[in-house]
Amino acid sequence: MSVPSIDTVIATVDSLLEGALDDARMPAAVEQLRQLFDGSKACHASLGPGLSPADAVSTNSDEAMQRRCYTDLSDEFLRFGDALRAVPVGTVYRDGDLFGLEALRASRGWREWMAPQDMYGGIGCRLGESRTRQWFFDVQRGQRQEPFGPSEVALLQRLTPLLRRVSMLSREVGQLRLQRDEARSALDMVTLAIILVERDGRVVYVNRSADDLLSGPDGLLSLRLSRLVARHPGDQRDLKRLLEGAFGARDEFGGQRSSLILRSDREETQSLSICVVPASPRRADRPSPERLLIALKPLGQVDEIAASSRQLFHLTDCEARIASALAGGLSLAQAAALQGVRISTARTHLARIFQKTDTRQQSQLVALLQGAVPPLRGPL
């Protein structure tokens, strides 16, 4: 093999680091490695129980052939992993030396998978392990190519620390993505609308409840060009001051206002409570927040209050409607008129509601019911 130029090696290194941070770029990185070693095939993979296509990135891949790794040939590859465990982490090995060339060529894995893909001799390096799984890089030469020599082994040995770091980064990034996805799923289950805003005003995340709230045609807030915008100019000025004050605060908002209520002028639209808090703890070198977490809650969620009061306090349908009307801000007379009953009947219902909820005053009842709306949505 001719000695690769320093530019070619650096380009391969850059590609590998990009692949560690972005799965979509890893196939191109592995292909550059194959070209660097003039190989017939290259693979960056992990081995362990429960093999799946996500465990390997290979060049020159035939999909039907690749599927065999994880189905009828999986036992062969798990045995390969057992043999690989004998190789110290960070060490370069030759396939023939590791398994014995005759034993390797007699194996089903070589006859049915390696030989059909022109894999007649390879070198690899063991990159690490975690519990029952381990990572390695392997590059092969074809039947009509010269076997790998000392210079290729030396080059792979020089690259092994980098490949180990790439594997570690890939695992760490994968774990972070998993945690991110789990956090998003959890936030989507919360009935409270949650929004994450950058210092420049861009909205970078909304949970499912916030998306539902902001996408309504008559809502008090909406998203325009990734910015949070209030429907009324006066509300927009108040919202802007609220966010600017929160971003400029250096210690617990420094006495700045951290909440706001947008009042609705339409019966079909609920008023909206807005609360802002820093999205992450302050640091000595960054006393003011870089991002804000905004919590939105429609006020007087009558339907949800009625449903939760029936479930939690065993109220009848009529009692639940009276209770939810009171929790929504109506007086007892207004609640009676809304339900089409006499005020005396509404008082009877209210007495039973007090008994079932263990409250004595309307203010106590309203506070209890408004806090009883379940904080989690149903299954997504």
| pLDDT tens digit sequence for 23-81 | 889 999 999 999 999 999 999 988 888 778 888 888 876 777 778 888 888 888 888 88
Q: What is the mean pLDDT of residues 195-224?
A: 88
- State mean pLDDT over 86-110: 90
Above 70 in pLDDT, residue 303?
A: no
pLDDT mean across residues, the chain: 84
Mark whether 336 and 239 lie in a shared domain: no
Of the three residues 147, 164, 181, the one that is the final residue of a domain is: 181
pLDDT one-digit tens code per residue, 73-91 = 888 888 888 888 889 999 9
Given a cut of 90, whether residue 140 has pLDDT beyond it is yes
At 24, which amino acid appears? A
Which segments within 24-66 are labelled E, that is strand? 41-47, 56-58
Whether residue 199 sits in one domain with residue 285: yes
Task: Considering only residues 380 and 299, tell me which one the structure prediction assigns the higher pLDDT.
Answer: 299
The answer on 52 and 173 residing in a single domain is yes
Residue 370: its pLDDT value, please?
A: 67
Instruction: Note whether residue 380 is domain-resident.
Output: no
Which of 298, 314, 336 terminates a domain? The answer is 298
Q: Which CATH number does the domain housing residue 234 bear? A: 3.30.450.20
3-state secondary structure of 143: coil
* Residue 379: inside a domain: no
Give the integer Cα–Cα distance in Å for 235 and 233: 5
- 319-367 pLDDT, tens per residue? 888 887 887 777 888 888 888 889 999 999 999 999 988 888 888 888 7
Last residue of a domain, one of 138, 158, 181: 181
Which CATH number is 13's domain given?
A: 3.30.450.80
249 and 306 in a common domain: no
Given this model, what pLDDT does residue 255 score?
45
Report CA torsion sign: 93, 94, 95, 96.
Answer: negative
Count: domains in the chain = 3
Per-residue pLDDT band at 376 (split at 50, 70, 90): low
Q: Would you state the pLDDT for residue 134?
A: 87
Residue 116 predicted with pLDDT over 60: yes
Q: What are phi and psi of 112, to 5 degrees?
A: -100, -15
Say yes or no: 142 and 25 in one domain: yes
Same-domain check for residues 97 and 233: no
Structure tokens at 234: 């006066």
- Give the model's pLDDT for residue 180: 86
Kindly state whether residues 172 and 194 are assigned to the same domain: no
- Indicate the helix (H) or strand (E) that contains 273: strand 272-278
Three-class SS of residue 12?
helix
Q: Give the residue with greater pLDDT, 140 vs 367.
A: 140
Structure confidence at residue 254 (pLDDT): 46
Please give the residue range of the domain that contains residue 149: 6-181
Same domain, 274 and 329: no
Q: What is the pLDDT of residue 291?
A: 87
pLDDT tens digits for 151-190?
999 999 999 999 999 988 888 888 888 888 888 888 888 8
Question: Facing residues of 128 across strands?
Answer: 135
Same domain flag for 117 and 15: yes
> What is the tens place of the pLDDT at every residue in 256-288?
557 777 877 765 566 777 888 888 776 666 667
